[in-house]
Amino acid sequence: MSELYETLKGSAVADVRAAIRSRRYASHTAGLGQGYLQANLAIMPAAYALDFMRYCQRNPKPCPLTGVSDTGNPWLATMGGDLDIRSDVPAYNIYRDGQLAGSVTDIADLWQDDFVAFALGCSFTFERALQAAGLPLWHIDHDKTVPMFRSNIETVPAGPFAGKMVVSMRAIPEGRVNEAAEISRRYPLAHGAPVHAGNPAALGIADLARPDWGDPAPVPEGHVPVFWACGVTPQVAIEAARLPICITHKPGHMLITDIAEDAEVPVLTQHA
Residue ranges binding a second copy (CB under 8 A): 46, 49-50, 53-54, 57-61, 65, 67-68, 70-71, 78, 116, 153-154, 156, 158-159, 165, 185, 188, 192-193, 195-196, 264-265, 267, 269-272
Which lies closer to a second copy via its Cβ, residue 174 or residue 262?
Answer: 262
Q: How far is the CB of 29 from a second copy (least distance, A)?
A: 23
Q: How far is the CB of 24 from a second copy (least distance, A)?
A: 32
Which lies closer to a second copy via its Cβ, residue 118 or residue 124?
Answer: 118
Q: How far is the CB of 42 from a second copy (least distance, A)?
A: 14
**Which helix (H) or strand (E) covers residue 154, if one does?**
strand 148-154
Residue type, 115: F
Q: What are phi and psi of 124, to 5 degrees?
A: -50, -40
Sequence-distant (≥ 6) Cβ neighbours of residue 102 within 8 angstroms: 93, 94
Q: How far is residue 155's CA from residue 233's CA, in Å, rounded to a whole number?
A: 9
Which lies closer to a second copy via its Cβ, residue 7 or residue 270?
Answer: 270
Which lies closer to a second copy via its Cβ, residue 20 or residue 44?
Answer: 44
Q: How far is the CB of 59 from a second copy (least distance, A)?
A: 7
Q: Which of 126, 103, 112, 78 is nearest to 26 (CA)?
A: 103
Which lies closer to a second copy via its Cβ, residue 20 or residue 153?
Answer: 153
Find out whether 187 and 264 touch, Cβ atoms under 8 Å. Answer: no
Q: How far is residue 6's CA from residue 122's CA, in Å, rounded to a whole number?
A: 22
